[in-house]
Structure 1
Amino acid sequence: MENSTGKYAWTATVGTKGQLVIPKEAREIFNIQPGDTLIILADKEQGIAIPPKNTFDKYFQTIFGGKK
């Protein structure tokens, strides 16, 4: 579902093996391909976020203080 600001909302299904199924439209919009590695960020109070692939370095730097 898209609104006029380019923000989206979908539902996702967790399978019996704990795998998350990302909706096709979301995979297309964010260019998620089979075999891609995604980063999942979580906070018990704020929930889970799956940021775009092109922001990995930014999050890595923020979380680990520039140590690669």
Structure 2
Amino acid sequence: MKGPEGTHAWTVTVGAKGQIVIPKEARTLFSIQPGDTLLLLADEKRGLAIPEKGSFASLFQQVFRENPQVEP
């Protein structure tokens, strides 16, 4: 499913072992290959997010800088 320019949405099914399959279109779009490590972020109010691979370091800096409740 495609939304406004640059946005996308897909549905996935959670299997019996809690696993999901990332749709081929998403894997291609974000260059996700077998064996890649992905970061899954969760916020109880805002939901789940999988940031672009390779952005872990800058993402951690941004998350902890913007959240005053988290101590360094």
Query: Given the two structures, how large is their TM-score scaled by the length of structure 2?
Result: 0.78
Task: Extract unaligned runs of 5+ from structure 1.
Answer: none
Between Structure 1 and Structure 2, which shows a larger proportion of strand residues? 1
Identity %, equivalent residues: 58
Partner of 1:27: 27
1:56 & 1:20 partners in 2: Cα distance? 21
Off by >6 Å, runs of 4+ in structure 1: none
Q: Deviations over 1:29-66 (max 9, x none)?
A: 0001000000011011100000110211112223467x
Q: How many residues align?
A: 66
Query: Given the two structures, how large is their TM-score scaled by the length of structure 1?
Result: 0.82
Cα-Cα RMSD: 1.9
Task: Extract unaligned runs of 5+ from structure 2.
Answer: 66-71
